[in-house]
Structure 1
């Protein structure tokens, strides 16, 4: 019972706090903490793949370094849908227009399924061309193809679950998706090594002292694992179950935002609103992904150990930056709801509060990473060259972690205000105009160290740019709740405000 009381004290539902009145710190904390846990679970998918594939082979680990940016690109192209849905749900919820929030959520789910099916087909058919364009080594390319084709087939589930989380967050419920994500991650972690190694040479059985059982299962099934393809199957299968559970929760409507089948008939007037908000958000996500993929052009010229170190470093960053991502998403929701409630000053203070908190938290995290860089890197591989390059990458980048928090805080505010174009501009400037050219030039002069130097330079400048742009106050002109989506007649009738 004591544990349950502690959990209930930390994770409060949206019914227990108000995002549009009172203090800022507590509601932002209660909104963001489940997102931290949720994003930690999200990262656990990638970390599990990275860990087990690192045990499988260095080639598989290098392959996943190329696969993850390509996966992010596929999702980023459709990211605008989830951002638009989250923003509209947040603003309509803040304005007390629950029926409009439901309609926005229903339409978002419908368009998300359509978009992910189209992108999945494209991703499956053109993965070879993408790898050729990136100049991936012939030894690694077939492994990347195996992973990406499975992922493309299951993209509708991967992206559908991401949309579920975004819609619930826009409403202010971050606890429900956290629990769904927890179950999905546990499932993925259990089946990941089984599908990668099968019942032959599986290190999990060796660590558990179940070698005899492993031999018996191998003789019974003959399954020797699917390698990197098995990792993709594990991820897609666990996300599929999570998406189905999420859809069922939203249809019931007793937790978070509700969706209705009759409101899922594609509405072109809603599509126009999604385009206005969502396209810049997709540009932001795509710009991030393209910059990462274009950086692979530079990285591909280095030895496999450097490529693997880049993969390890970026996976570790994905854990370190969980507070920044969570607070950014919390700020997005609070900004949207406060704008819906016509409280722009409170929305502004939410952004400044979040930026200050993240600057402090991530600076401390950076110091810790600088001290423990080598032991952290050695968790993922036994290769001395990979460990050395990974440790250097971590130490060089760690000094700028706080500025990433500042940038994330303000870009979350821009998105919540519906000013997704500004958030996209900040990302493009930081990653495309600053990081990529610096990496390309510095790598030619300093080798692998030049690659790593590009990260702190772009992080610091990105944080400064985001702060100065937010201080201009142009986001205050956004008031999406005054504009009409053009809710038309559906099979359930026209949508009106409650």
Structure 2
């Protein structure tokens, strides 16, 4: 199947063709996350809780990668929409090189701050050794994780979602195969415990990095060999970062807020933290269809924005919002019906099952509104309005989410906090939809 023409093909079938492959890739990625927590849960409650503590930090790095990818995709897709193919290749090459160097530096520096950070988050002396054992290895692969994600954004800006999906699927399958081997050992392979889960990820990311760079160089000529002139490299980097930095900050707010929420949950014991960690991964799986749509919508928006087709942008955005609300309501119903079976699968003990059942019964009700928020943010970034997207993130997390969760936790406990999650997402989604709708009306009017 040929790469779709984002400027001419019918909108709904085009988005569907782009989104389906990304769904496959994200499903495999989420399954790998669930496999991680399943195998680690077999080691006991302390390692399982330790893995939950690592989530805000690892997701911070993922958020950084998402931000860099958003900036890269928005600029590249617009250049492609304007027909500037050579300039797009130069920018992609320089941006990938700078991403690799920056994350390498972050990984080296971060090693020195792990103990005080996780102690501040509420990790106990029993959990801390497991956390450090995992993170000390995980940081070695972070540079490949981030560069892979940015490289996949380059492919999506080109309109190719099948290759990134295949890359994610292969990486996840490799990770799932390595997980039990390295965690529990087999034959000459020693049991590494929770370190094995991190090592499996590092090996998978390193292998996929080589493949993705080859595809960009050989198939699409979006990586080219040229002398790294400082003025050009930093010029491209600054162009991308005008969108990438606000987008990265917006995404990094989520794990920062997640760390605060984890500390609140920790007041209810290690079992509640473990259940919350399972819930975070189930949340990603439950939102996977809309997450896939949020990855395919921006290149469509940016290319059509670059070509001046604002009416196609409006139609695509409104259709995506309607779909997200209906789809996530269906997901909530299914999770509620099968909540007992899901809790039995991931709960290592009855003490973990109770808070997990509570989470499954309440939190997914807000997933539709959460999808509206990140679809709106991705549309704003694609329209080169990253500061508006960042303001929505600030509003959601620090005006609605954390204050409402803190009050509810103090007054009604864990159940009240979960209800507050739903209410906060609902309030923020109304603001996000209004901001994007008003902006699109203005853009459309300016072209008439």
**Could you tell me the TM-score, scaled by structure 2's length?**
0.95
Q: Within 2, Cα distance between the matches of 1:257 and 1:321?
A: 33
Q: Within 2, Cα distance between the matches of 1:437 and 1:382?
A: 31
1:116 equivalent to 2:103? Answer yes
| Corresponding residue number in structure 1 for 2:75 | 88
Aligned partner (choices 458, 464, 467) of residue 433 of structure 2: 467
Helix, strand or coil at the partner of 2:176: helix
1:129 equivalent to 2:95? Answer no
| Corresponding residue number in structure 2 for 1:298 | 264
Deviations 1:418-465 (Å, cap 9, x if unpaired)?
Answer: 111111211221122211111111111112112212211122112211
Aligned partner (choices 120, 123, 137) of residue 150 of structure 1: 137
Deviation of 1:280 after TM superposition, in Å, equals: 0.6
Q: Within 1, Cα distance between the matches of 2:238 and 2:441?
A: 20
Q: Within 2, Cα distance between the matches of 1:476 and 1:94?
A: 21
**Closer, same or farther in 2 for the Cα pair 1:362/1:162, shift >3 Å?**
same
Q: Within 2, Cα distance between the matches of 1:46 and 1:263?
A: 39
User: Counting helix residues as a fraction of each chain, which structure ranks higher?
Assistant: 2
Aligned partner (choices 288, 306, 314) of residue 322 of structure 1: 288
Aligned partner (choices 355, 359, 363) of residue 397 of structure 1: 363
Q: Within 1, Cα distance between the matches of 2:10 and 2:217?
A: 33
1:261 equivalent to 2:261? Answer no
Deviations 1:463-486 (Å, cap 9, x if unpaired)?
Answer: 2111111122169669xxxxxxxx
**Closer, same or farther in 2 for the Cα pair 1:477/1:307, shift >3 Å?**
same
| Corresponding residue number in structure 1 for 2:328 | 362
Deviations 1:214-244 (Å, cap 9, x if unpaired)?
Answer: xxx2xxx3x5411111100001110110111
1:416 equivalent to 2:382? Answer yes
**Closer, same or farther in 2 for the Cα pair 1:80/1:257, shift >3 Å?**
farther
Deviation of 1:22 after TM superposition, in Å, equals: 4.0
| Corresponding residue number in structure 1 for 2:250 | 284
Q: Within 1, Cα distance between the matches of 2:276 and 2:296?
A: 29
Q: Indicate if the aligned counterparts of 1:74 and 1:119 stay in contact, CA closer than 8 A.
A: no
Q: Within 2, Cα distance between the matches of 1:257 and 1:420?
A: 28
Deviation of 1:304 after TM superposition, in Å, equals: 1.1
Aligned partner (choices 18, 22, 47) of residue 5 of structure 2: 18
**Closer, same or farther in 2 for the Cα pair 1:356/1:349, shift >3 Å?**
same
| Corresponding residue number in structure 2 for 1:205 | none
| Corresponding residue number in structure 2 for 1:207 | none
**Closer, same or farther in 2 for the Cα pair 1:265/1:296, shift >3 Å?**
farther
| Corresponding residue number in structure 2 for 1:165 | 152
Alignment RMSD (CA, Å): 1.7
Aligned partner (choices 338, 362, 370) of residue 372 of structure 1: 338
| Corresponding residue number in structure 2 for 1:351 | 317
After TM superposition, the runs of 4+ consecutive aligned structure 1 residues lying more than 4 A away are 263-266, 474-478
Q: Within 1, Cα distance between the matches of 2:342 and 2:214?
A: 39
Q: Within 2, Cα distance between the matches of 1:86 and 1:128?
A: 35
Deviations 1:97-118 (Å, cap 9, x if unpaired)?
Answer: 1112211211121111011101
- Structure 2 stretches lacking a partner, 5+ long: none
- Structure 1 stretches lacking a partner, 5+ long: 1-11, 200-216, 479-498
Larger radius of gyration: 1
**Closer, same or farther in 2 for the Cα pair 1:453/1:225, shift >3 Å?**
same
Deviation of 1:264 after TM superposition, in Å, equals: 5.2
Helix, strand or coil at the partner of 1:124: helix
Q: Within 2, Cα distance between the matches of 1:80 and 1:411?
A: 11
**Could you tell me the TM-score, scaled by structure 1's length?**
0.85
| Corresponding residue number in structure 2 for 1:180 | 167
Deviation of 1:23 after TM superposition, in Å, equals: 2.3
